[in-house]
Amino acid sequence: MPSEETKESIIKAVELGRTLLHYGWIPLIIYVGFTQSDPQPSLIKLISPLA
């Protein structure tokens, strides 16, 4: 049976993983789409809708 310290460490790791996934999913999708597209758009066109 895991100790209380182990349980708390696992809970903290899971919460950290959920936070990273929550805030990192959309930037990851944008990065993959940006790097895998052909022709590759300029960075200014990716950031600014008026460019």
Convert the pLDDT of each residue in 1-51 to its tens digit: 789 999 999 999 999 999 999 999 998 998 888 888 888 878 787 777 776
Query: What gap in Å lies between CA 19 and CA 36, rounded to an integer?
Result: 26
Domain count, the chain: 1
Tell me what pLDDT residue 51 has.
60
- State the pLDDT at residue 34: 83
Query: Measured between alpha carbons, how far is 8 from 41 in angstroms, rounded to an integer?
Result: 45
- Taking the C-alpha atoms of residue 28 and residue 20, their distance in angstroms, rounded to an integer, is 11
pTM: 0.59
pLDDT attached to residue 42: 80
26 is in which domain, residue-wise?
A: 4-47
The CA distance from 9 to 28, in Å, is 27
Tell me, what's the pLDDT at 5?
Answer: 94
Q: What's phi and psi for 2, nearest 5 deg?
A: -70, 150
45 near 51, Cβ under 8 Å?
Answer: yes
